[in-house]
Structure 1
């Protein structure tokens, strides 16, 4: 259940968004159970979040309210697992932007920044699942916000990939 920092996969559609100065990170883990639809894998990562992550999100929501930024409560939310997942639908509070057989991109745009998350695998029988986050900031508020949440972002990403690996073990 090791999570490792890695590079964005060459085949990821997230590459088309990345520009100089943007934030991009990528972490990966290995799973034992392969062949699942990529939408199912994304739902396993982003639904049923543990209490500590929900508490961090609630704290974040309180903090951004004063700046007129979107809170998770303002976004469409769906924690039901469904198959297939469709573009435009939410997985938790992340909107599905695109889906291919081996990658799903979720994201949201706001006044301070735009972000996209990629859940990627090389092929349906690949054991490596990567979770990449791209952020384009629009202004100083976006840059301050990104610096403020970065440590929590990494904790959450690693936690969710570890949970996925445990869930799909054996």
Structure 2
């Protein structure tokens, strides 16, 4: 059974909310789930490990297409080589770098000459236990804006799909 995914604004008490100024793109989705004593990073790692093959195929296709334009190959979403408690700020977590970590929220990101992306998984207990995934993108130039024209529609499909699979 799929969970109900709700589009929301980033939670005001989340750290990602402090990173919204000047953003080119912001989106947040919430889904009810039980934390079961897990940290924000544990939840992220468990969930990203279940990324469907079709999403990784799209990521691989993205990597091939953009490498011809000088953008970096980000790799596979699912790659994670440590337990959650071994990660420290600055470590690579799959395709992202760990920016900020608390029990309640993990912020991961990537930054290049075209854009800066930050992704947050936030444990929201304001109305029961739920997870909020937020994305914040700051573009640095016109190429970043053009890139986002292609990525945004795919992102809007993938994030709710992935959240609906949360357990």
Q: Same fold (TM over 0.5)?
A: yes
RMSD of the alignment, in Å? Answer: 2.3
Equivalent position of 1:83 in the other structure: 84
Structure 2: runs of 5 or more not aligned: none
* Unaligned runs of at least 5 residues, structure 1: none
Map of 1:42-121 to 2, 5 A cutoff? 42-73=44-75, 78-80=79-81, 82-84=83-85, 85-121=87-123
Q: Which moved more, 1:136-145 or 1:32-41?
A: 32-41
Point out 4+ residue stretches in structure 1 off by more than 4 angstroms: none
TM-score, scaled to structure 1: 0.86
Give, in whole Å, the separation in 2 of the partners of 1:97 and 1:21: 17
Count residues in correspondence. 164
Do the aligned residues in 1 keep the contact of 2:105 with 2:122 (CA within 8 Å)?
yes
Query: Which aligned pairs between 1:1-170 and structure 2 lie closer than 5 A?
Result: 1-73=3-75, 78-80=79-81, 82-84=83-85, 85-123=87-125, 126-164=128-166, 168=167
